[in-house]
A and B are shown apart, each in its own frame.
Chain A
């Protein structure tokens, strides 16, 4: 009788352990799923920049550059939102254009006052420009909504600029 009780106890403990392991395995699977999905989003974002830069190089090989877009649309003074790699590339490309000027750049995370061009924060007073170019293209929709509250001019994505050339 005593032996049976002990066996039942052991059996119960084994079942508990198995349930715990199963629960952990299921948790692990769902975590793996989340990781895969997050990585897929990241790869998708890299892919998007890869295509943008590839097209940008093709445009330059054809002898055109980003300034042509602003000339065509009569934007003489622009602001650049985001000073990551794409933002810096755009500012450098427009540095030598005589009729298109990057008046300043807007970036949340840079504390310096100047980095290629004058830097401002979104919380600073608005200096009017003809257009704002958003360079973090993957977050364009949310940034556009935020910028449109402060700026009256068109807010355009870097993709629109490059793919319109």
Chain B
């Protein structure tokens, strides 16, 4: 591949994830001349040691140590702004990309000078070229919310722009800036149907779930969507409703109750969000409040039987 591409993996205290991830992707990445960067804010040196060992064998592996208290979305600056590559691929350490499955497609699409290549492994029957940002948002915004689902031009943002976006889209820096910046340009994007990843077996629970931040993240999603430029106005409510309704089905509410993401004080703190669920009827709001008061042992039982616990807590 003539154009230089990098895979950027932000991580924190997940040495097992990184060991598995690197062992899966490095041989293929080396063959394809793709650089792999690890942005690590761990509280110990285990990840650094693993990367150091691998780096002796693979010259395309690089490591950057970051302060341990840096928020995860602040790490994205190093990938999107400071990398200096033609194309950047932000990947989470919990989803392993299978380069052998998708490199032919990536090479072909990069040769067409795409600004953005989105991977979608569900729902769509075929690849779709997109030159209109609104239609791109309509089709791909939620898909792009998951780390790893897109490759983007590496020179899209300036340092000043990024600082502005950091204030505007905390938690959602991998979505907001792309859609705000690309709205000002004529875009050359494609959404390809491609089963490009497999789960990292070592992945346990996401920190936004174990840290009791589920409702905060939902609030931030609402803020991020509302902060998008006006041309997305017709779709904003749809994005909010779809996201919130996905994580607030009764199955999930029992799970949030069981793991400490939902109690009466949290329900009160996020009352606007809970009340916003009124589009499902007021009865639904009563269910949220009822679940928030239920004993955790009952919640644990129900979320296990419903399957939501096994889905989120693999």
Contacts and interface: CB of A to CB of B under 8 A. Distances in A.
Interface of A: 29-30, 32-33, 36-37, 40, 44, 47-48, 51, 55, 58, 62, 160, 162-165
B19 A33 contact: no
Given A36-B310, A48-B201, A51-B201, A163 B304 contact: no
Interface of B: 19-20, 23-24, 27, 53-54, 201, 300-301, 304-305, 310, 314
B301 A47 contact: no
Given A30-B301, A164-B23, A165-B23, A47 B310 contact: no
A33 B310 contact: no
19 contacts: A30-B301, A33-B300, A33-B305, A36-B310, A37-B304, A40-B310, A47-B201, A51-B201, A55-B23, A55-B24, A58-B27, A162-B23, A163-B19, A163-B20, A163-B23, A164-B23, A164-B53, A164-B54, A165-B23
B60 to A, nearest CB: 16
A40 B314 CA distance: 8
Nearest to A162: B23
B86 to A, nearest CB: 28
Nearest to A52: B201
SS of A interface (majority): helix
Contacts of B310: 36, 40
A55 to B, nearest CB: 6
A11 to B, nearest CB: 29
Contacts of B27: 58, 62
A160 B15 CA distance: 12
A63 to B, nearest CB: 11
A163 B53 CA distance: 12
- What are the 8 A-B residue pairs with the smallest beta carbon separation, nearest first? A163-B23, A33-B304, A51-B201, A163-B19, A33-B301, A40-B310, A36-B304, A48-B201
